[in-house]
Amino acid sequence: MNTIATLVKGEIGIISEESLDVIPLKLLEMGCLPGVEVELLQVAPLKDPLYICVNGSHLAIRKEMAEQIKITKN
Amino acid sequence: MENPKPIKVALIGNPNTGKTSLFNQLTGLTQKVGNYPGVTVDKKQGTCKLLNNKTAIITDLPGTYSINPTSVDESIVLTSLLNTTDKDFPDIIVVVADVENLKRNLFLFSQVKDLEIPIILAINMSDQMERKGISLDVETLQKELQTEVVLISSRKNIGINDVKKAIENCAEVSNTHPLCSINHKIDGDYFEKLKEVSSNHTLYELWLMITQNNFPDSLTEEEKKKLLQFTQDVSRVKRYQHKETIHRYQQINQILKRTYLVDRTKAKDLRGKLDRVFTHKIFGYVIFFGVLLLIFQSIFDWSSAPMDFIDAQFANLSEFVTKQMNDGVLRDLITDGIIPGIGGVVIFIPQIAILFLFVAILEETGYMSRVVFLMDKIMRRYGMSGKSVIPLISGTACAIPAVMATRTISGWKERLITILVTPFTTCSARLPVYAILISLVIPDKKFLGYFSLQGFTLLSLYVLGFAIAIISAFILHKLLKVKSTSFFVAEMPNYKLPSIKNVVFDVLEKTKAFVFGAGKIILAISIVLWFLASNGPDSFDNVEKNITKNVLNENLSSDEIQTKIASAKLENSYIGIMGKSIEPAIKPLGYDWKIGIALISSFAAREVFVGTLATIYSVESDDENNSTIKERMRAEVNPETGEKRFDLAVGMSLLIFYAFAMQCMGTLAIVKRETKSWKWPMAQLIGMGILAYVASFITFTIFS
Ligand SMILES: Nc1nc2c(ncn2[C@@H]2O[C@H](COP(=O)(O)OP(=O)(O)OP(=O)(O)O)[C@@H](O)[C@H]2O)c(=O)[nH]1
Ligand SMILES: [Mg+2]
């Protein structure tokens, strides 16, 4: 199963519909929505947090959250 | 004229979109701006002259991504929008959006629009559009959003008058339609029922009251009870919130498709390249440490010339006043107390300004957020968040704004720990104390060719401050049983060249605040100290007679006799008696009663240390030639050993004491305000005090 945490640096995935319930509201509001492309830009030196670009927003999120957000790779 | 009542305008928008920059342009004030989310954490007001002679009261608010808050700074926005009966409730809202990320900015806009308060959309950073390949159809956007849209650049001062005009227009013709009408697409029946609860509030307001559990006074008891019933079904509320979000984004996407275009080929990927360097797993940390080293090296290297200059000027000033004024009490107060006391702070302006300069540049470039990213995992081990790095770094200027800056941390436990340990970071008030002690006890030598030993000692003290902050955080993390859920999302702003104007203003403002704040306290304390040092319970005539009698058969010059009389007088003054009574407690640390007085007065503010010693020593020396504070301190001898008073052991012990002790009323007061209880500031005062005492004792024992 693919999540944001399984992306490699520079890879792009699409957030899957079933993630809707696990994505915290705050993240949804910042543009991290199902059906949207997410790109992993950087991984912090200790593998956590992750630096992503989603819907035009550049965000750092923690790994534990990234692991819950399912994606499909194309 | 016809309408003397000013228009109340609130600035709302995502973090880092330039609200404060616009606020400063409109009001002519200089509030702090910076290139990371969460610079403004409290509301600030200012007045703005509109073009038709009316005035507007502008309120600058903290940035937020949504009306639904997840941290303290964000909840300030919600509170000011829900309380319709409050005297500060805005007549007009200006939503400030960043043109580079319009989609997410419009999300907040759509929420605010649904509150049905007259609204204007100001799209900022228009100067960036060309470089990023962005084109925007303002006409169409205006129609689609049913809102007046102004394109501005608050940095380049473009479109500010258009904002003023829009505020005037909006005050006259206020059209307020909800944009996204949340009800039908989500659940028609549910929202129909909700709407029936109250006719005084819009549907969206009612919905917010439920989701935020925030019931303003404008509700009746009956209405409140009905609303509380809606809150019972938690999972449904949550589901609908999610649906609402998606619904809003869909609508915004539709609108932007017709109005907003980005030509990706034009956008240059500088950000990606810089990110690769600054967040690199090795270089990232190397650069971070290098930056810190550069700052501290510069503080010492660049400032020595201007500092010597200022020092000499104050000595001259004292001499000048001595010559001009008649011999007397007032002259002594001015030349011995006030001038050296103020001089003791003014001399540090160069160092403090350099420190503020670097902090301002770091904040303006966007580098701070990269440090947040680098440090989050590490900080989490110590019970803090990556965002704690910002208070810890800006705490090097002053702990008071740093404690306020913790508001952006959403988990209460992470935030509390950050507040509790922030006072350990070396603030600018410690700098005068450190600098004078270092220059007294550490030799002025270089090692490894370039690094100065004094600079290295200072750097070590800064590192020590951070280290002890981290260690205490770890202990608190294990000890504190506070329940809180932490939630971490940090936006990474784009890199920007610092605006010279912002940086200069920031440095000037902070330096001014430091000098005047400290100046006032020092002035007051110098006067009180001077009075206490030149008066005593016994008549000084007796003291003088005793001394003269005692030294009669010793072979002393009149100068030496004068000195003896002066120190005997000081010992019998009020301050001498007070100092003597606490001497036993501080003797194990290597301090005499004069240093003890300086320690006590430092509890008002640390930077008083130098001024206090200056006052005490100058009362004692009673001489006509005005030497500098440093010379006086260097000349002070320990009567028991005949050696210098400020030797390595005493100097190190004092350095450690000042590094650890909580000697700042201002910080204690702000911690009380932010934690809403006296418990935490008291814990800080006592805990840090014990630590300082024990550590200084150990240091003194090792070095002597
Ligand atoms: N290029 C450009 N930069 C701008 C403009 N307006 C503001 N900035 C910069 O954007 C950054 C953020 O500005 P602030 O005014 O602090 O933003 P804010 O919205 O008050 O931020 P918070 O208080 O954190 O919510 C600063 O570095 C400003 O110099 C603009 O029109 N053009
Ligand atoms: Mg601001």
Quick: pLDDT tens for B467-512: 999 999 999 999 988 777 777 889 999 998 888 888 888 888 888 8
Distance between Cα B155 and ligand 1 center (Å): 8
Report the 10 Å Cβ neighbour count for B158.
15
Among B144-158, B347-361, B383-397, the range scoring the smallest mean pLDDT is: B347-361
Nearest to B34 by CA among B278, B338, B360: B360
CB of B278 less than 8 A from some CB of A: no
CB B496, CB B270: distance < 8 Å: no
Best probe residue, ligand 1, of B12, B14, B20, B21 (max atoms within 8 Å of C-beta)? B21
Distance between Cα B363 and ligand 1 center (Å): 11
Structure tokens at A41: 């830009």
CB of A18 less than 8 A from some CB of B: no
For residue range B273-312, what is the model confidence (pLDDT) as tens digits? 899 899 888 899 899 888 888 887 787 678 778 888 888 8
Nearest to B591 by CA among B563, B619, B613, B570: B613
Say how many CA atoms lie within 13 Å of B401 toward its Cβ. 18
More confident residue, A64 or B545: A64
CB-CB neighbors (< 8 A) of A4 in chain B: none
Residue B159 is predicted with a pLDDT of 92
Q: Inspect the interface and report whether the beta carbons of A60 and B238 lie closer than 8 Å.
A: no
Question: Residue B30: CB within 6 Å of ligand 1?
Answer: no
Average pLDDT, stretch B103-118?
Answer: 91
SS3 category, B157: coil
Q: Which helix (H) or strand (E) holds B285?
A: helix B283-301
**Domain ranges within chain A, ordered by starting residue:** 4-73
Nearest to B25 by CA among B154, B165, B158, B164: B154
Cβ-count burial B129-152 (b if 16+ within 10 Å, e if not): beebebebeeeebeebbebbbbbb
Task: Supply the residue whose CA is at minimum distance from atom 2 of ligand 1.
Answer: B125
CA–CA distance, B502 with B509 (Å, rounded to integer) = 10
Residue B145 has pLDDT above 80, yes or no: yes
CA–CA distance, B297 with B289 (Å, rounded to integer) = 12
For residue range B48-92, what is the model confidence (pLDDT) as tens digits? 988 888 889 999 999 899 988 878 888 888 888 887 777 888 999
Best probe residue, ligand 1, of B11, B26, B33 (max atoms within 8 Å of C-beta)? B33
- Which segments within B16-107 are labelled E, that is strand? 44-49, 55-60, 92-98
Distance between Cα B15 and ligand 1 center (Å): 9
Question: Residue B365: CB within 6 Å of ligand 1?
Answer: no
B7-172 CATH = 3.40.50.300
Q: pLDDT band for position B109 (50/70/90)?
A: very high
Q: Which fold has domain A4-73?
A: SH3 type barrels. (2.30.30)
Q: Inspect the interface and report whether the beta carbons of B245 and A45 lie closer than 8 Å.
A: no
Q: ipTM value of the model? A: 0.94
Q: pLDDT band for position B1 (50/70/90)?
A: very low
Query: Which percentage of chain B shows pLDDT scores above 90?
Result: 31
Q: Inspect the interface and report whether the beta carbons of B376 and A26 lie closer than 8 Å.
A: no
Query: Which percentage of chain B shows pLDDT scores above 70?
Result: 94
Residue B334 has pLDDT above 70, yes or no: yes
Among A31-40, B97-106, B453-462, the range scoring the smallest mean pLDDT is: B453-462
Average pLDDT, stretch B597-612?
Answer: 83
Q: What is the DSSP letter of A19?
A: G
For residue B64, the ligand closest to its alpha carbon is 1
For residue range A19-43, what is the model confidence (pLDDT) as tens digits? 888 888 889 999 999 999 999 999 9
**Domain ranges within chain B, ordered by starting residue:** 7-172, 184-243, 283-479, 501-703
Question: Residue B21: CB within 6 Å of ligand 1?
Answer: yes
Among B225-229, B349-353, B595-599, B613-617, the range scoring the smallest mean pLDDT is: B613-617
Q: Inspect the interface and report whether the beta carbons of A25 and B68 lie closer than 8 Å.
A: yes
Residue A73 is predicted with a pLDDT of 85
Average of per-residue pLDDT values in chain B: 85
